[in-house]
Amino acid sequence: MKSLFLLLQVCTQVWAADPTAIVKKIESALAPPTSKFSYAFTNHRTDGTTVEYEVSFQMKDPDHSHGYFIKPEREKGREVLRLENDLWTYMPNVGKSVHIADRDSFAGGDFSNADILRVDWTSKYSVTLLKDLTNQAIYELKAKAKDATYAKMRLWVDKKSGMPVQQKFYDSQGTLLKRLSYGEVKKFGKTERPSYLLMENVITKQKSELRVQSMESPADVKDSRFRVDNLGK
């Protein structure tokens, strides 16, 4: 009995020792540097309609990422670009680049731009171990930057795999805004990560799905891709 208690104590110490490092590992799995990947989005609206998108991404590092819309046809050629703290979108029908906000909806769905293009939570949030469960650890991420998209997040992590299980997003009043469920973990080349994400908007009762179609890491990523004046070219 004593040995079991000591084992549990050691396990707790492991998950509490450096919460930030544990969350950083998750960030690297979800958005590895020098990578290329393709996502399929399905947005479910309250009127029963669905809208589907396919977007290919390139990432140089956490501060530089680029997305190119492939489907639907009416959105083909649309681009999104992250350059450090700035986000831009290029609309082919407008022919110019426009500055966008982290909090804005990505492709009209329930994921925000930050949810997709800013998977570097530890740069904007402080991390602490909130609760140590038998099979999972719950981490609380509190905003330490004024421009953070959410006031607080809670992240459930599976102890065996080190992968995220679910995530909740709150405003400054402590109101639950959205709930994210992480699905089956698959291996894409050298990277293991959840292959399916379901974001549920608690306020609007709408939801969006994200499916990872492919991922290559490391990949040949060109610096020229991460320039505002190259959008649309």
In this predicted structure, the answer to whether residue 53 has a pLDDT above a threshold of 50 is: yes
The amino acid occupying position 206 is Q
For residue 112, the enclosing domain spans: 2-230
Secondary structure class of 83 (helix, strand, coil): strand
Question: What number is the average pLDDT over the span 124-136?
Answer: 97
Distance CA 81, CA 116 (A): 11
Question: What number is the average pLDDT over the span 36-42?
Answer: 98
Shortest CA distance to 41 belongs to which of 206, 221, 154?
206
Question: What number is the average pLDDT over the span 123-145?
Answer: 97
* CATH label of the domain that carries residue 184: 2.50.20.10
In this predicted structure, the answer to whether residue 233 has a pLDDT above a threshold of 60 is: yes
The amino acid occupying position 45 is R
Give the bridge partners for 126, in sequence order: 142
Segment 166-201, tens digit of pLDDT: 999 999 999 999 999 999 999 999 899 999 999 999
Percent of the chain as helix, strand, coil, to the nearest 5: 20, 45, 35
Distance CA 2, CA 181 (A): 36
Give the bridge partners for 142, in sequence order: 126, 152
For the ranges 15-19, 110-114, 125-129, 198-202, the lowest mean pLDDT is seen at 15-19
In this predicted structure, the answer to whether residue 11 has a pLDDT above a threshold of 70 is: no
Count of the separate structural domains present in the chain: 1
In this predicted structure, the answer to whether residue 7 has a pLDDT above a threshold of 60 is: no
pTM, entire model: 0.91
